[in-house]
Structure 1
Amino acid sequence: MQKNNSENAEMLYQAILSLSSPEECRAFFQDLCTVAELRAMAQRLEVAVLLDSGMIYNDILERTGASSATISRVNRALQYGADGYKTVLPRLK
């Protein structure tokens, strides 16, 4: 029987939480994701950091190369999302 997406997501979250160092995390994500997927996730996080610092869309677009759709999506997540960015961003400072 195939696991449903929710069970697979929970397994992924548990796998991430089991990592104990930046090196383990880097190795896991390199195995799990394509280079493009890693770049996209890293770019979204950078956009979140810049939005959180008060930078405007045009400056973020110029600095990161992110599309306006990506910037808008990240901003929407910051404003109305599950607070994942809001949890992580202070921990990066």
Structure 2
Amino acid sequence: MSSDERLQNPLTDALAEAFLLLRNKEECYRFFEDIATVAEIKSLAQRLEVAKMLQRNETYTTITEVTGASTATISRVKRCLNFGADGYQLILRRLQEQENQKKDSSEGES
């Protein structure tokens, strides 16, 4: 599935390109701190954690207890996981692949 065309314009294209130029976690933190409020950044991080937990089939109660997310936020993330543009699915798959690579490399060192 492709992204929502309502989201795409020259300004958001430039923002996406800016994200792609970030080279490491420190650069991300520096850019995030300048471009968004702490609350906005924490909200995005919370949604990603909710998505991870939903993928593991955690209950809404557990997700709320761990993340502090409202049931409305959890429902929205779940809707996006199931019927969205597959952005969560893409990043969750890549995060899992990264975790598997780390696990494989640490087992190889043993």
* Fold match by TM threshold 0.5: yes
Any stretches of 5+ residues in structure 1 without a counterpart?
A: none
> Which of 61, 73, 78 is equivalent to 2:81?
78
Give the secondary structure class of the aligned counterpart of 2:82: helix
* Structure 1 match to 2:61: 58
- Provide the residue aligned with 1:30 in structure 2: 33
Runs of 4+ in 1 over 6 A off after TM superposition: none
Larger radius of gyration: 2
Identity %, equivalent residues: 51
Distance in 1, Cα, partners of 2:67 & 2:22: 28
Matches within 5 A, 1:82-93: 82-93=85-96
Q: What stretches of structure 2 of length at least 5 have no aligned partner?
A: 1-7, 97-110
Q: Which amino acid aligns with 1:67?
A: S
3-state DSSP class of the match of 2:69? coil
AA partner of residue 15 (structure 1): A
Matched, 1:68 2:88: no
> CA–CA distance in 1 between the matches of 2:24 and 2:75?
32
Using the alignment, how far apart are the partners of 2:54 and 2:88 within structure 1?
11
Q: What CA distance in whole angstroms lies between the structure 1 residues aligned with 2:35 and 2:56?
A: 30
* SS of residue in 2 equivalent to 1:73: helix
Write the distance in 1 (CA, Å) between the matches of 2:68 and 2:79.
18
Amino acid aligned to 1:61:
T
TM-score relative to the length of structure 1:
0.91
Output aligned runs, 1:8-47, within 5 Å. 8-47=11-50
Q: Would you say how many aligned residue pairs link Structure 1 and Structure 2?
A: 89
